[in-house]
Amino acid sequence: MRRIGLIVCLSVFMGVLGTPPADALPVTGGKIGVDGGLATGEGDIGTGWILGANYRLMSIAGPVRLRADVTYQSHGSDLSVLGLAGNAVFSLGSLYGLGGAGWYRTDPKLGDGSDDFGVQLGVGISLIPGIHLEARWVQIDDFTTFPVVVGIRF
Protein backbone atom coordinates (compact mmCIF):
# COMPACT_ATOMS: atom_id res chain seq x y z
CA MET A 1 0.00 0.00 0.00
CA ARG A 2 2.86 2.37 0.80
CA ARG A 3 4.42 1.81 -2.60
CA ILE A 4 1.13 2.54 -4.33
CA GLY A 5 0.81 5.81 -2.38
CA LEU A 6 4.37 6.77 -3.30
CA ILE A 7 3.84 5.94 -6.98
CA VAL A 8 0.61 7.98 -7.08
CA CYS A 9 2.27 10.92 -5.33
CA LEU A 10 5.29 10.86 -7.66
CA SER A 11 3.05 10.58 -10.73
CA VAL A 12 0.91 13.55 -9.70
CA PHE A 13 3.98 15.52 -8.66
CA MET A 14 5.76 14.96 -11.98
CA GLY A 15 2.55 15.54 -13.93
CA VAL A 16 2.01 18.92 -12.29
CA LEU A 17 5.56 20.01 -13.03
CA GLY A 18 5.90 18.40 -16.43
CA THR A 19 2.67 19.28 -18.24
CA PRO A 20 1.26 22.76 -17.68
CA PRO A 21 -2.31 23.43 -18.87
CA ALA A 22 -2.72 24.84 -22.38
CA ASP A 23 -3.81 28.25 -21.06
CA ALA A 24 -0.97 28.49 -18.49
CA LEU A 25 1.51 31.35 -18.46
CA PRO A 26 4.61 30.72 -20.57
CA VAL A 27 7.46 29.35 -18.50
CA THR A 28 11.16 29.90 -19.08
CA GLY A 29 14.05 27.98 -17.58
CA GLY A 30 14.29 27.31 -13.90
CA LYS A 31 16.68 27.41 -10.99
CA ILE A 32 18.16 24.61 -8.94
CA GLY A 33 18.76 25.20 -5.26
CA VAL A 34 20.35 23.39 -2.34
CA ASP A 35 19.91 24.21 1.32
CA GLY A 36 20.63 22.99 4.80
CA GLY A 37 19.98 23.96 8.37
CA LEU A 38 18.39 23.00 11.65
CA ALA A 39 14.99 21.50 12.39
CA THR A 40 13.10 21.11 15.63
CA GLY A 41 10.42 18.55 16.31
CA GLU A 42 7.54 18.38 18.72
CA GLY A 43 7.46 16.33 21.90
CA ASP A 44 10.58 14.38 22.82
CA ILE A 45 12.16 14.89 19.38
CA GLY A 46 15.25 17.06 19.76
CA THR A 47 16.85 19.50 17.37
CA GLY A 48 18.23 17.89 14.24
CA TRP A 49 19.55 18.82 10.82
CA ILE A 50 17.96 19.06 7.39
CA LEU A 51 19.40 18.96 3.85
CA GLY A 52 17.42 19.64 0.72
CA ALA A 53 17.38 20.32 -2.98
CA ASN A 54 14.75 22.08 -5.03
CA TYR A 55 13.87 23.08 -8.55
CA ARG A 56 11.94 26.32 -9.09
CA LEU A 57 10.20 27.04 -12.39
CA MET A 58 10.58 30.64 -13.53
CA SER A 59 7.37 32.23 -14.78
CA ILE A 60 7.82 35.19 -17.13
CA ALA A 61 4.67 36.90 -15.77
CA GLY A 62 3.27 37.22 -12.29
CA PRO A 63 4.80 36.62 -8.87
CA VAL A 64 3.77 32.94 -8.48
CA ARG A 65 6.16 30.10 -9.29
CA LEU A 66 6.09 26.36 -8.77
CA ARG A 67 8.84 24.61 -6.82
CA ALA A 68 9.64 20.94 -6.24
CA ASP A 69 11.49 20.08 -3.00
CA VAL A 70 13.32 16.95 -1.85
CA THR A 71 14.44 16.97 1.81
CA TYR A 72 16.10 14.68 4.31
CA GLN A 73 15.84 15.48 7.99
CA SER A 74 17.54 13.65 10.88
CA HIS A 75 16.98 13.96 14.60
CA GLY A 76 19.81 11.69 15.69
CA SER A 77 18.67 8.39 17.09
CA ASP A 78 15.04 9.54 17.41
CA LEU A 79 13.71 10.08 13.89
CA SER A 80 14.52 10.65 10.23
CA VAL A 81 12.17 12.13 7.61
CA LEU A 82 12.44 11.92 3.82
CA GLY A 83 10.17 14.35 1.98
CA LEU A 84 9.05 15.06 -1.57
CA ALA A 85 6.82 18.15 -1.88
CA GLY A 86 5.39 20.52 -4.45
CA ASN A 87 5.00 24.19 -3.48
CA ALA A 88 3.62 27.41 -4.84
CA VAL A 89 6.00 30.30 -4.16
CA PHE A 90 4.62 33.87 -4.04
CA SER A 91 7.36 36.52 -4.34
CA LEU A 92 7.19 40.12 -3.17
CA GLY A 93 10.60 41.52 -4.01
CA SER A 94 13.20 39.87 -1.80
CA LEU A 95 10.50 38.38 0.50
CA TYR A 96 8.49 35.30 -0.42
CA GLY A 97 5.95 32.90 1.01
CA LEU A 98 5.40 29.29 0.09
CA GLY A 99 2.84 26.61 0.64
CA GLY A 100 2.33 23.11 -0.60
CA ALA A 101 1.86 19.44 0.05
CA GLY A 102 3.84 16.28 -0.38
CA TRP A 103 4.77 12.76 0.60
CA TYR A 104 6.85 12.14 3.72
CA ARG A 105 8.48 8.93 4.92
CA THR A 106 9.06 9.05 8.67
CA ASP A 107 11.39 6.44 10.09
CA PRO A 108 11.59 6.29 13.87
CA LYS A 109 14.62 4.34 15.01
CA LEU A 110 12.40 2.26 17.27
CA GLY A 111 9.23 0.99 15.64
CA ASP A 112 7.81 1.01 12.13
CA GLY A 113 8.13 3.87 9.68
CA SER A 114 5.15 5.37 7.91
CA ASP A 115 4.32 7.04 4.61
CA ASP A 116 2.11 10.09 5.02
CA PHE A 117 0.93 13.11 3.12
CA GLY A 118 1.81 16.39 4.74
CA VAL A 119 1.47 20.12 4.25
CA GLN A 120 3.93 22.93 4.67
CA LEU A 121 3.91 26.71 4.88
CA GLY A 122 6.94 28.94 4.96
CA VAL A 123 8.46 32.37 4.58
CA GLY A 124 11.80 33.33 3.14
CA ILE A 125 14.03 36.21 2.22
CA SER A 126 16.63 36.54 -0.52
CA LEU A 127 19.62 37.93 1.34
CA ILE A 128 21.78 38.60 -1.72
CA PRO A 129 21.33 37.29 -5.26
CA GLY A 130 21.35 33.50 -5.08
CA ILE A 131 21.42 33.21 -1.25
CA HIS A 132 18.23 32.75 0.77
CA LEU A 133 17.06 32.15 4.34
CA GLU A 134 13.83 30.20 4.83
CA ALA A 135 11.68 29.08 7.78
CA ARG A 136 8.98 26.41 7.35
CA TRP A 137 6.19 24.80 9.33
CA VAL A 138 5.62 21.19 8.22
CA GLN A 139 2.68 19.09 9.45
CA ILE A 140 3.01 15.35 8.74
CA ASP A 141 0.04 13.38 10.05
CA ASP A 142 0.33 14.01 13.80
CA PHE A 143 3.96 15.22 13.77
CA THR A 144 5.05 18.87 13.36
CA THR A 145 8.54 20.08 12.50
CA PHE A 146 10.03 23.55 12.05
CA PRO A 147 13.05 23.63 9.71
CA VAL A 148 15.13 26.79 9.23
CA VAL A 149 17.51 26.63 6.28
CA VAL A 150 20.08 28.72 4.42
CA GLY A 151 20.52 27.93 0.76
CA ILE A 152 21.92 28.87 -2.59
CA ARG A 153 20.18 28.96 -5.99
CA PHE A 154 21.99 28.70 -9.29
> What one-character-per-residue DSSP string does 128-141 give?
ETTEEEEEEEEEET
> Alpha-carbon distance 154 to 25, whole Å?
23
Instruction: Give Cβ neighbours of residue 133 (< 8 Å, ≥ 6 apart).
Output: 124, 125, 127, 148, 149, 150
Residue type for position 49: W
Residue range(s) defining the domain that contains residue 35: 2-153
The domain tally of the chain equals: 1
Instruction: For residues 148-154, give the mean pLDDT.
Output: 95
Q: Is the pLDDT assigned to residue 58 strictly greater than 80?
A: no
Looking at residue 42, its pLDDT comes to 82
2-50 pLDDT, tens digit each: 454 545 445 444 544 444 544 555 555 789 999 999 999 887 788 999 9
Please report, for the domain that includes residue 75, its CATH number: 2.40.160.20
Q: Are strands 64-74 and 48-59 parallel, antiparallel or unpaired?
A: antiparallel
